[in-house]
């Protein structure tokens, strides 16, 4: 999961094409596939070791005792396993793998992400054990094959007598049928016992007994490259995120959403990228992802995040603040420290439950946060599929609720740089929300962009469909944003109609479909993208996930 | 680490260990000595998979069910306290994992099951219990507040609710609307 490396590859548009970047979007699924492959390989490896253990006892080599691992035929591997390095490391590795797999299931990740996060980092111990596993090895190899080739006969001189001890090394291959001319040894050769022939009928004598040693350790060859790359990336990210980002402002938006504005020296991000934020007062180890809503350049260097707040009345902090008898200000200061970010679902990106009891305290909290100069640590930016919006002629962006944030970044970029700054000719935006007030989050940006597109003689650049699923009150938009008001539809979007309309007006084009929303929505949209349509328009589906 | 539901983790760990024990048992039947332990391991693995397959209901929030678990949920729920108490599951897994530790292919499953039993102990210590999904465990409301109506109403409307009306035999009284 080398996110910085992936972000660099994704950003190098000259080297990497659009199709290759689509492959990078599936990096998480590839990671899961690798995990499954590791489990299958571990199971097969263990199987092999079980049968090895059986063979070590049953096929004890009497002639060359140094080849064996067990001391006699009665001894089994069950005795040796806990007393050898490979045995102990092997068992420990399998147990760690079982722990990692058990916490990686979808159910555990949704219920308790921290458990999954911390147990997954046990892979570092797994790597170290894997390096130690082949040491003091079970596998043996012969070192002097030229002196003692397979099938040769060893002459052992027993005190001057002519008796010879016919000892052949294991294994003994069947002698090949002889087709040559030579049928007896050279005259100057020593007299040899009868029947001692090699595969060509020539006599082969050993120069010495076989010498065995443990097989060389080779696992490090496979592990060291990726491990070093991962370590380098983590060190780079640690150094990059070492300087804190100061909170420059907090703005409340309707429908329990807060915009957090941060400033960080030297921070540059492209539209569609995301960052991970760490709040050291809550946890020194945890980083949680947030999509940027404003692309950052050297002249702006600002980070803006939108996060939804949930009131959490059963938190321990709530009980603590309720029993506080200190001054009101102190209580607020204490609560503003405990900002906990939780990822509840992979599709809901910007979820940050604020551990407060009453929402009315929020405004005071924001003021407190700015005044007390609390800072957060920002690691990133990392790439996401939404960066590809500008690499299509026509793009269709579908957002569910707070999932508008990556597209807000895209819209802000277009507002700053102009609608003619990339090859994008037409942008469709479908935004589905429960309440009408949610549309007010970026209503200003949408109206400004539409006005700018008009001024740049591109009136059909931005096509907006706003869908309201719960409330029916549209008066708020009618007063302040009549442009958006005329684009509001009540009820869930009919994907087939939307896609037919987009295909009709853009025949024979490749359209990028970008989705940031709940799983149910993504299933329906993906199904339609894969279907053929009569206008020969191709829809390429991208889903935003961290 | 927040509000963690230990039982959910113990459930996943137990199922994975049961699979490992089952596979190890099948291997142990092919050529290894002490084949009885391997046979036991196969049986114990299947039993634990069936026992742990239905996921328990979370205290709050939506629980993701496993596919087709509703059939086993009924069976597990019918067993009562034996299956819903996590202390009993802790002891059960502890006892089940011991015999499997005496043969090489089944050792790994036994160790995994031992870890699962420890996590179940922690879950039981935190007061968690197995609740079925889709079955109402609160029981029928008590009948002391409600009257059981066996006869049609004896009074024409307007009339008070059944539990307020005075008890009288169901004889129609004509022409007296003041009687409730």
ipTM of the complex: 0.75
CA distances from A377 to A276, A278, A353, A541 (A): 8, 5, 18, 33
E strand intervals along A207-291 = 212-214, 245-253, 257-263, 274-278, 288-291
CA distances from B13 to A33, A123, A344, B73, B114 (A): 20, 17, 22, 19, 10
- Bridge partner residues of A455 (DSSP): none
Domain A386-543 has CATH 3.40.50.80: yes
pLDDT at A62: 72
Q: Judge whether B59 is closer than 8 Å to chain A, CB to CB.
A: no
B159-180 pLDDT tens trace: 777 777 666 555 554 544 444 4
User: Under an 8 A CB cutoff, do A95 and B108 touch?
Assistant: yes
- What are B97-150's pLDDT values in tens digits? 999 988 888 999 999 999 999 999 999 999 888 888 877 766 555 545 566 777
Residue A103, CA distances (Å) to A35, B4, B11, B56, B133 in order: 13, 12, 10, 16, 21
Question: What pLDDT, in 10s, does the model give residues A155-189?
Answer: 544 443 444 444 444 555 555 555 555 445 444 44
Contact A56, A68 (CB under 8 A): yes
Question: Is A108 close to B8, i.e. CB distance below 8 A?
Answer: yes
Mean predicted lDDT score pLDDT of chain A: 73
Tally Cβ neighbours within 10 Å of residue A184. 10
State the Cα–Cα distance between residues A403 and A515, nearest whole angstrom: 8
Task: Find chain B residues with C-beta within 8 A of A78's C-beta.
Answer: 102-104, 107
**Residue with the larger pLDDT of the pair B35 and A55:** B35
Length of chain B equals 180
In CATH terms, A243-314+336-362+372-382 corresponds, of 3.60.110.10, 3.90.550.10, 2.40.30.10, 1.10.730.10, to 2.40.30.10
Partner residue facing A102 (CB), from B12, B23, B105: B12
Q: What is the mean pLDDT of residues B22-47?
A: 91
Q: Do A98 and B112 touch (CB under 8 A)?
A: yes
Which candidate in B57, B62, B108 is best for mutational testing of the A interface (most A CBs within 10 A)? Answer: B108
Work out the minimum CA distance from A105 to partner chain B, whole angstroms: 8
Q: Cβ contact (<8 Å) for B111 and A95?
A: yes
Helix pair B35-52, B104-125: axis angle to 10 deg:
30
Does B5 touch chain A if contact means CB atoms closer than 8 Å?
yes
Nearest CA in chain B to A340: B2
Q: Given B16, B55, B104, which is nearest A98 (Cβ)?
A: B16
Residue matched to tokens 């009408």: A436
Tokens coding A299: 């002249």
Q: Per-domain residue ranges for chain A?
A: 3-137+217-234, 144-154+197-214, 243-314+336-362+372-382, 386-543
In angstroms, what CA-CA distances link A328 with A334, A361, A368, A369, B100? 10, 10, 12, 15, 61
pLDDT in tens, A478-505: 777 888 888 888 888 899 999 999 999 9
The secondary structure element, H or E, covering residue A476 is helix A475-480
The C-alpha atoms of residue A27 and residue A21 are separated, in whole angstroms, by 10
- Best CA proximity match to A300, nearest among A211, A222, A413: A413
Helix (H, G, I), strand (E, B) or coil at A70: coil
pTM for the full predicted model: 0.72
């Amino acid at each position: 999961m080398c996110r910085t490396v992936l972000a660099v590859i994704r950003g190098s548009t000259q080297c990497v094409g659009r199709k290759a970047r689509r492959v990078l979007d599936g990096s998480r699924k590839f990671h899961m596939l690798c995990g499954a492959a590791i489990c299958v390989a571990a199971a097969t490896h263990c199987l092999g070791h079980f049968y090895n253990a059986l063979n070590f006892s049953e096929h004890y080599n009497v002639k060359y005792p140094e080849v064996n691992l067990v001391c006699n035929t009665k001894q089994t591997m069950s005795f040796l396993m806990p007393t050898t390095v490979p045995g102990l490391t092997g068992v420990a590795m399998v147990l760690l793998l079982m722990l990692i797999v058990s916490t990686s299931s979808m159910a555990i990740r949704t219920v308790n992400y921290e458990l999954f996060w911390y147990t997954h980092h046990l892979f570092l111990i797994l790597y170290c054990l894997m390096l130690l596993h082949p040491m003091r090895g079970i596998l043996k190899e012969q070192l002097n094959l030229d002196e003692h080739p397979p099938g040769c006969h060893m002459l052992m001189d027993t005190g001057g007598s002519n008796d010879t001890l016919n000892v052949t090394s294991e294994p003994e291959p069947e002698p090949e049928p002889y087709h040559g001319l030579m049928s007896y040894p050279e005259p100057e050769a020593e007299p040899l016992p009868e029947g001692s022939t090699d595969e060509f009928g020539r006599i082969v004598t050993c120069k010495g007994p076989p010498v065995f040693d443990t097989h060389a350790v080779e696992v490090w060859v496979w592990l060291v490259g990726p491990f070093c790359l991962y370590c380098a990336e983590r060190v780079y990210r640690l150094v990059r995120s070492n300087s804190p980002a100061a909170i420059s402002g907090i703005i409340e938006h309707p429908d329990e959403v807060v915009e957090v504005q941060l400033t960080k020296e030297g921070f540059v991000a492209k539209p569609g990228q995301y960052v991970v934020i760490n709040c050291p007062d809550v946890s020194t180890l945890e980083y949680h992802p947030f999509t940027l809503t404003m692309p950052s350049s050297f002249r702006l260097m600002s980070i803006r995040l939108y996060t939804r707040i949930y009131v959490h009345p059963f938190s321990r902090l709530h009980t603590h603040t309720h029993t506080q008898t200190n001054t009101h200000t102190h209580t607020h200061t204490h609560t503003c420290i405990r900002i906990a970010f939780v990822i509840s679902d992979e599709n809901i990106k910007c979820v940050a439950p604020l551990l407060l009891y009453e929402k009315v305290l929020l405004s005071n909290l924001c003021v407190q946060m700015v005044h007390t100069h609390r800072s957060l640590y920002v690691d990133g930016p990392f790439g996401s599929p939404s960066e590809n919006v500008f690499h299509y002629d026509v793009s269709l962006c579908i957002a569910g609720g707070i999932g508008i944030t990556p597209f807000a970044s895209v819209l802000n970029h277009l507002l700053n740089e102009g609608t003619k700054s990339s090859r994008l000719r037409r942008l469709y935006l479908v935004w589905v929300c429960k309440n009408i007030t949610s549309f007010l989050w970026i209503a200003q940006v949408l109206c400004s962009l539409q006005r700018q597109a008009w001024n740049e003689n591109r009136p059909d650049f931005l096509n907006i469909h706003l869908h309201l699923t719960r409330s029916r009150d549209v008066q708020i938009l009618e007063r302040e944003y009549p442009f958006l008001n005329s684009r509001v539809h009540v009820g869930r979007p009919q994907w087939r109609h939307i896609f037919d309309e987009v295909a009709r007006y853009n025949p024979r084009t490749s359209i990028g479909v970008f989705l940031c929303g709940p799983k149910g929505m993504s299933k329906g949209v993906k199904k339609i993208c894969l279907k053929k349509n009569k206008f020969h328009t191709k829809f390429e589906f991208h889903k935003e996930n961290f | 680490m927040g509000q963690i539901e230990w039982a959910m983790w113990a459930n996943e760990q137990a199922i994975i260990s049961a699979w490992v024990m089952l596979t190890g048992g099948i291997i142990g039947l092919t050529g290894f000595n002490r084949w009885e332990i391997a046979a036991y391991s196969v049986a114990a693995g299947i039993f634990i998979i069936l026992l742990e397959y239905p996921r328990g209901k979370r205290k709050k929030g939506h629980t993701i069910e496993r596919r087709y678990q509703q059939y086993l949920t009924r069976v597990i729920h019918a067993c009562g306290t034996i299956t819903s108490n996590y202390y009993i599951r802790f002891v059960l897994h502890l006892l089940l994992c011991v015999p499997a530790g005496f043969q090489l292919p089944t050792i790994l499953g036994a160790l995994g099951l031992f870890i699962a039993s420890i996590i179940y102990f922690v879950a039981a210590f935190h007061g968690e219990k197995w609740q079925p999904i889709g079955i109402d465990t609160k029981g029928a409301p008590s009948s002391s507040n409600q009257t059981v109506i066996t006869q049609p109403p004896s009074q024409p409307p307007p009339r008070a609710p059944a539990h307020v009306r005075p008890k009288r035999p169901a004889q129609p009284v004509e022409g007296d609307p003041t009687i409730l």
